[in-house]
Amino acid sequence: RSRSVRSAVRTSVRTARASLEKGDAKSAQADVARASQDLARAAAKGVVHPRAAARTTSRIQRALSRLDG
C-alpha cells in the first residue's frame, strides 16, 4: 500500500514540475494543487515524512508563484 501511495506522489510531483518547466500557468496551477494534496495525504498516512512533504510542497508552490508573478 505504501509503495502505490509513494509512487502516486512521485508521479504527481514530477507532473507538476514538468508543467512548471513548460511555463503554462493554468495547467501548472492544477498540477501543483494535485501534488500538494497527494503529498499531504501521504504525510498523514506516514508514507513520507511530514517535513519532506512540506518542503516539497513549499518548493513547487514557490516555483508557481514565480511563474505567475
This prediction has a pTM of: 0.91
Along the 69 residues of the chain, how does pLDDT read in single tens digits? 899 999 999 999 999 999 999 998 999 999 999 999 999 999 999 999 999 999 999 999 999 999 876
User: Secondary structure of 4-57 in the HEC alphabet?
Assistant: HHHHHHHHHHHHHHHHHHHCCHHHHHHHHHHHHHHHHHHHHHCCCCHHHHHHHH
